[in-house]
A = this chain, B = another copy of it.
Amino acid sequence: MVKITDVARRAGVSPSTVSYALSGKRPISAETRRRVQAAVRELGYRPHAGARALAGSRSNVLALVVPLRAGIHVPVVMRFAASVVTAARAHDHDVLLLTQEEGEEGLRRVADTALADALIVMDVQLRDPRLPLLRELDRPSVLIGFPRESTGLTCIDLDFKAAGEVCVDHLARLGHRVVALVGSPPEVYVRQTAFAQRVVQGFTAAADRAGLVSSVHPCAAAPGSALAVAERLLREQPAPTGVVVHNEPLLEPLIDAFEQLGLRVPGDLSVTAICPDEFAAAVRVPVTSVAVPAAEVGARAVELLMAKLGGAADVPQATLLPPRLTERASTAPRTA
């Protein structure tokens, strides 16, 4: 293994000079820097992560807690995760993968052992048991999602409440008077998953405000459940003509189910969704949707963390990304 002293010898300088030349924490002459870099290249030098972490008290590792649990849609989660990894690498950091099951103990472990020097937590619940821990931990953290009480924490997410509102407003503007929300699986609500709850709030509030009749239908992603919900919706009195879908895996099957029941989308029924754009655009009938900007959220979560690690005092506590609705083929003015 080639170490910093090897590089120093080869470049004809002291180890500390090598360190400074590489970190830029002290001025080093252009000539010396060049020699050091040449030596690094020639020897294939890579600083030892452990040694660096010990001496510098920075591991350059971020811990990411991903929810791999019932009811959450894995491809969406992985979009967030992938963008976190990419952004972290851009800041010369690596990402440690923690699962939800590790829970608070896992967070405490990576923090206390100095394995990671910052944490990113996904799948936040309204009253999340991890919040006290995150507040007291000496390491900075960022939540992707908003708990009920977020003071003292740094949170970022799409404004899901506004997203629910935007969908309803869009349907209302098209003349729809009866709307329904096809939501995430029941267990997601039972757990009080923040983003799911917020969509319901926004959906209901906007419907009330606009004087619409509205209903909410949590919905598992089981086979045939699309058809079941579709039938249930059509039996309602009055029957909805506008539907908001907040359940990625159900989106396509649901539209199929409607058509199977003799309803045309958007002819008889307008559908909007809250999901990543790629999903909405890839459905057979491209769906008007509010984008869940996973890539942006992941990247900005990392930026926030880097700012906190850098000691910035002005890191915003709350970052709510405004919803952006893209009209596609699944919504149309109400007929008759």
Is A282 a contact of B94 with CB atoms below 8 Å? Answer: no
Cβ contact of A114, chosen from B50, B59, B109, B222, cutoff 8 A: B50
Copies in the complex: 2
8 Å CB contacts to B: which residues of A36-71?
44, 46-54, 59, 61, 64, 68
> Which of B78, B115, B223 sits near A68, CB closer than 8 Å?
B78
Confirm or deny: A309 has a beta carbon within 8 angstroms of a beta carbon on chain B.
no
Q: Which residues does chain B contribute within 8 Å of A216, judged by CB atoms?
A: none
Number of interface residues of A (CB under 8 A): 47
Within 8 Å of chain B (Cβ to Cβ): is A268? no
Q: Is the CB of B282 within 8 A of A113?
A: no
Closest to A112 in B: B46
| A50-B46 in contact given A96-B94, A97-B64, A223-B283 (Cβ < 8 Å) | no
Query: Quick check: is A123 within 8 A (CB to CB) of the other chain?
Result: no
Q: Say yes or no: is A5 at the interface (Cβ < 8 Å to chain B).
A: no
Contacts A50-B53, A114-B50: A224 and B284 contacting too (C-beta < 8 A)? yes
Knowing A49-B59, A59-B49, say if A97 contacts B96 (CB, 8 Å): yes
**Which residues from B are CB-within-8-Å of A101?**
86
A-B contact pairs, 19 of them (CB 8 A): A46-B109, A46-B112, A47-B113, A48-B54, A49-B59, A49-B114, A49-B115, A51-B54, A68-B82, A74-B78, A85-B99, A86-B99, A86-B101, A89-B102, A94-B96, A94-B97, A95-B97, A223-B252, A224-B284
The 7 A-B pairs with the shortest beta carbon distances in the complex, nearest first, are: A50-B53, A46-B112, A50-B54, A223-B284, A49-B115, A49-B113, A97-B97
Other A-B contacts than A48-B114, A64-B97, A89-B102, 14 sampled, CB-CB below 8 A, are A46-B112, A48-B54, A49-B59, A50-B51, A53-B53, A61-B115, A68-B78, A75-B75, A78-B78, A81-B97, A94-B97, A95-B97, A252-B253, A256-B256
